[in-house]
Amino acid sequence: MDPMTKMWVSLIAILIMGLSVFLITFARTKTTGILRGALSFVAFIFMVVGFLGGVAALI
């Protein structure tokens, strides 16, 4: 991967991780019940995708 592509992949990974932090914060403060669990699960999936994007940018 060329350096410019690595930069874009890492930037997208950072943005996805930021979205997951916002989503988990929203889920924990504003929701309850099954919606809270569903949003937390989606936030976890976003965090894993962001992590894999960060690892891909390092390789």
Check residue 42 and give its pLDDT: 96
Percent of the chain with pLDDT strictly greater than 70:
100
Percent of the chain with pLDDT strictly greater than 90:
97
Check residue 14 and give its pLDDT: 96
Angle at 30 between CA 28 and CA 42, to 5 degrees: 50
| pTM of the entire predicted model | 0.87
Nearest of 26, 25, 19, 27 to residue 50 by alpha carbon: 19
pLDDT band at 16 (very low <50, low <70, confident <90, very high): very high
Q: Quote the CA–CA distance of 1 and 4 in Å, as a whole number.
A: 8
pLDDT band at 13 (very low <50, low <70, confident <90, very high): very high
